């Protein structure tokens, strides 16, 4: 091979290396573009959509509200009468086919309790599970003037309580020093507006007869 042929071969090899380099660069660029596109598409798909509203109502085919999700829920209505909740409520309410409230999962303010409630059509709550803001909880089941309650709190500790016809039928363990608690103070304040027997009936729904009598005072 003469010198001229050697020069031509060297030139061809140089051009071939340039072509291979350019092709490799183009392939890498295409791969990078595909990966970037897939990552962007994945990021877009994974981003959640946020809907900010104050209330959502779900209605049945007849237009009756069956579910209400709200940040400021209205008071309950039982037998056509408005029943104040006592505090501001937020969460989910359930209604039957007549529009009567039948339960909910709500939080309260300013007390900050959270409650799961199941209501009957005539008198309101039949089953209630409540958790306090700083601890403590209670499960209450009722039918008319009969009540069963499981409770644990920082004032009276754990208790199992039953009421039959507004009279305490069962309470364990014994209630100790209830008359020195804040709960008793609330019952005593109630005597300013209600009769002694009315206050006792409310007290008996969760405290032993001895504890209620020690709090409110005997006749």
Q: What is the pLDDT of residue 49?
A: 83
Q: Is the pLDDT of residue 139 over 70?
A: yes
Residues 6+ apart with CB under 8 A from 78: 100, 101, 119, 121, 122, 123, 124
How would residue 1 be classed by pLDDT, with cut points 50, 70 and 90? low
131-151 burial string, b = 16+ CB within 10 Å, else e? Answer: eeeeebebebbbeeeebbbeb
Model confidence pLDDT, tens digit, residues 194-216: 999 999 989 998 899 999 999 98
Q: How far apart are CA 27 and CA 68, in angstroms?
A: 56
Residue for token digits 């999700």? Answer: 69
Q: How far apart are CA 104 and CA 130, in angstroms?
A: 12
Could you tell me what percent of the chain has a pLDDT over 70? 78
| CB-facing half-sphere around the CA of 23: CA atoms within 13 A | 6
Model confidence pLDDT, tens digit, residues 75-117: 888 777 888 888 999 999 999 999 999 999 999 999 999 999 9
Average pLDDT over the chain reads: 83
Residues 6+ apart with CB under 8 A from 55: 68, 69, 70, 71, 72
Residues 6+ apart with CB under 8 A from 184: 178, 215
How would residue 59 be classed by pLDDT, with cut points 50, 70 and 90? very high
Model confidence pLDDT, tens digit, residues 162-181: 999 989 999 999 988 899 99
Q: What is the pLDDT of residue 5?
A: 47
Q: Is the pLDDT of residue 43 over 90?
A: no
pLDDT average, residue stretch 130-142: 94
The DSSP bridge partners found for residue 150 are 139, 160
The answer to which of 27-31, 59-63, 90-94, 210-214 has the lowest mean pLDDT is 27-31
Q: How far apart are CA 102 and CA 65, in angstroms?
A: 12
Enter the pTM of the model: 0.70
Helix, strand, coil percentages for the chain (3-state, nearest 5): 35, 35, 30
Task: Work out the number of other CB atoms within 10 angstroms of the CB of residue 73.
Answer: 20
């Amino acid at each position: 091979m003469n010198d001229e042929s050697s020069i031509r071969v060297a030139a061809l090899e140089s051009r071939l290396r340039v072509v291979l380099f350019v092709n490799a660069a183009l392939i890498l660029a295409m791969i990078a573009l595909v990966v970037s596109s897939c990552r962007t598409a994945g990021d877009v798909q994974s981003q959640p959509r946020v809907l900010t509203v104050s209330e959502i109502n779900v209605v049945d085919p007849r237009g009756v509200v069956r579910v209400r999700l709200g940040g400021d829920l209205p008071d309950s209505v039982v037998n056509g009468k408005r029943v104040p909740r006592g505090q501001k409520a937020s969460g989910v309410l359930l209604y039957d086919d007549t529009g009567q409230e039948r339960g909910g999962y709500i939080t309260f303010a300013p007390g900050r309790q959270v409650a799961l409630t199941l209501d009957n059509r005539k008198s309101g709550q039949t089953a209630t599970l409540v958790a306090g803001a700083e601890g403590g909880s209670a499960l209450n089941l009722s039918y008319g003037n009969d009540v069963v309650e499981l409770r644990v709190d920082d004032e009276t500790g754990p208790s199992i309580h039953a009421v039959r016809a507004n009279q305490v039928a069962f309470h364990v363990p014994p209630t100790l020093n209830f008359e020195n608690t804040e709960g008793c103070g609330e019952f005593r304040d109630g005597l300013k507006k209600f009769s002694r027997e009315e206050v006792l009936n409310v007290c008996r729904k969760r405290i032993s007869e001895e504890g209620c009598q020690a709090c409110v005072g005997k006749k």
